[in-house]
A and B are shown apart, each in its own frame.
Chain A
Amino acid sequence: MLAYRQKSKSLILLCILSLLILGGIRPALAHGYIIRSIPEDRAILQYSPTRLQYWFSEALEARFTSLEVRDQNGTTVATGGVDRDNNALLSARLPRNLPDSVYIVDMRVAFSSDGHVIAQTRTFVVGQAVGDVAAGELNSQVNGLEVIWRVLVISSTMLLFGTFVIYQAILIPAWGNTAYHAGLLPSRVMRRLSLIILIALIISFIGNVVAILQQTMSFFDTGLEQVISQNLWSVTRVGTRFGDLWNGRMLLLGLVSLLFALSRRWNEEHPKTVRPFWIANVWVMALVIGTLSAGSHATGSLTLIWVAIFNDWLHALAVGAWVGGLGALVLIIPTALAPYKDDERRLALLAVLRRYSRLAAACLVIVIATGLYSAVNWIYSPPDITNTDFGRALLLKLLLVGGLVFMGTMHHMAVRPERYQRWQQLTKRFSRFCSSLRLEALLALGTLAAVGLLSATPVPIPYFIQDSIPAPSATQTLDNLSVNLTITPGGTGTNTYDLAIARGGLSLNDATIRLQMVNPERDQRSKWVEVENASEGLYVGVGDEINRTGKWWTLVDVTSVEGSIKRFAFVWDVTDTATIQSSQPPRIQHIVGLMMVLAALGYVVYPSAKRIYRRLDLNPVNVTILIATLVATILLSAVGFIVIQNAQNQFESTLNPLPQIVNSVLPDEASLIIGQKLYQQYCTDWQNINLNGFIERLPRTRDEQIFATTRDGGADVPACNKILSEMQRWDLVNYIRTFER
């Protein structure tokens, strides 16, 4: 009757867990998201844009990522793909002068880290909005199959790792018997352990095979039959980052299988090799878990990416030892204790549970600390917990972990009745162990399923991501020549320069265009950038000339086929908001979280450190040398750091000192005309000497130096007339700069 009631309880718990997990399953979405789009979604643009650019928070798989632009009639007007120099940028060049219409941008995006594929639609309007289109919704192409393989792979991997850890750290020290050469445990226990490992390995291989098939179905947007018959899965395996991680994982699982198979094969001939093979597998399984972390949410962390990956790995290892170990223990105990009854059975159980309890406590400390770090890494504001799928999946996992912690605490107290006498009433129900351990194992299974669900759930998009900042753009007209310049994204770092040139309203295709970026406040200017003629009056270029925020000028020289040169000058105020922020500095929560993880690690390694400490020879001389070495190392490191910083600052200020006097006149066509007149009128001496040396030095000469030369004269050139005002002198400087042409 009692057994029936226990079974009923387990069944009810299993049903509740299944409902919770299934209720939590949403169509799995990708981990990455758009951090900037140009033009922004649903933008209404006066002029046709020259290109579309979408920056994502993670690297994309170029082979499986595409972009298509359609007009309102459904005609494809442009296609695009992943940028050659930036694998997180999806872009397309648009034809010149798109007619007024609503344009639909269909993106099919495959993320490198986890292989997730999403379809996303965005729209923009050129001119007046015509008609209406539904857009902006994120459509997932991933089905529940992904959640299933994730649960299979994670559960079996954790069970494998937990089994090998439990064997090494719990079963051998607690039950080991040198009378049994093969594995140091009775053959019935070794057979049961082998069966668990074999089944977990089979599930793991099946889960991984389903993973590559499902991933290929997503990548190619096709069915299982084509994936297998056309060998498409091998394309995913060889040509994607998901496939590379998969290869690594399968290789390591193959190694685990090989070591396990050898231990079984030599069970009779070389029984003493069984234990070494199994213990070696602890390390290999830790690497297998590492491949899961290398494809987890952590690789998309905006803050301290390597810390996030190692934190995730540490978390997974602790969960594996704790939860996987519990699963293994529950499956072994009935077989192991079958020959024992009453006190002997209880003693044998206590020997294992006391050790497991210590291991679980250490793992729990790490799980909590690393889990908190992960939470602060992904939860940016409290509403993210309740308003996002990730927050809800996290809550579900926390609920199950809370149940596990409660059960674990009860067992921890029940195995040490002498220490927790006052709680005896409470722990009495758990002192039978076997039935309550089964319940705990069921909760552990549910927790692993929740982990699988969480890993397939997209992280919240940070509130500070503003993907709708328009790229700076301006148009200037001189005589009948018009130049529209767009700098994308318009922040510091790499930008694209799109110039649309027209003469009398018609595209100008035979001109030579070059541009230069100038920072007047620092008296710095880039080299001239030649822009490429794309088509229909569109000229494009790329460069990283903008290296700091502040006021910038863009000088554009348009040279016609007749040889005449026109100067266009644009003024920009470059701010940090336009810069693509692919990473974020750590916040105070990250620092606190990291300290907690380090403290947890310190707590776990403390007993081992204490043992090592006892073996040390701590006589006064050794201690003095140790302290002196430590202090000297810290001091030298600090001094070295400060010296390097100072040297770098000094180098920067020597190379690019702030100008004493700043050019305050924009070098546009009007300024050049004034400057030319002033030159002809007041720099008559210059016109009678050879200026070749001066002109040759011009690209390396700062504006303030030219200014001083026109005022005071230089090494090989005389001063111009001294009656010039400051503004006139700057016009003159701007004109003299054209000698470089």
Chain B
Amino acid sequence: MEYIIPIAIFAALGILAGVLLTVASSVFAVKTDERVELISDALPQANCGACGFSGCADYADAIVNKGAECNLCRPGGKASAEKIAVIMGVQVTAAEPQVAFVRCSGDCKITPHKYEFDGIQSCAACNRFYNGSKLCTSGCLGYGDCVAVCPENAVSIVDGIAKIDNSKCMGCGLCAKACPNGLIAVRNISQKVDIFCSSNDIGRITRSVCSNGCIGCKMCERNCEKGAIKVIDNHAVIDYDKCTNCGKCAEVCKIHSVRLVERLAERA
């Protein structure tokens, strides 16, 4: 007889819990648009943030609910832009593919180190001690912070500095954020001219530590018809929006700090 009461109490508690949860789940139901899920499936799930949103799920939500553009996904590229366009029922053109580029060519053959670094083998860590172990304070340190974050393994350390494989890079920009010296730029794959030195030191000092260094002589700036290349902080800086790939700056640069990127591929 004494078993009836516990069983009854537990049955009552169980039924109460079930009813409460059922009622709550219908009263407090959250409506989700099924398109968010479909778009999320069409995205590559790299969660790189290149689209400007925090992750693929957030981007899918933004497309459906906040009217974001359908072609912002860099890793997904044309394929995902088209799929998303079909789901949303709009027409899109894919954005131009972009790749990252390391604007430093001070490899271990030409730039010496000022000290041996025995700490945590990371560029961000080494950079805290006297601006890095290389004699050039703005140069690539080669400990591979960019290599570690790349989801496509497009970055590798060759001769002590980072090099990006254009065939693998999808332009997500994670390496650019990881570099403590801000050496990596993400620009269109059609960009044929780029700078190979980002040193902030004056010309005399730059040349004394690295034979590939830009001296800030402004020959490129004077010869550019579009004003796309300027000398800022003692080194050349290219405005990729204005550049027409004419290659004039690369022709007049006597120390080959501004070069045609194609030519570098042949050399390497």
Q: Do A and B come from one complex?
A: no
Seen from chain A, the residues whose Cβ lies within 8 Å of a Cβ on chain B are: none
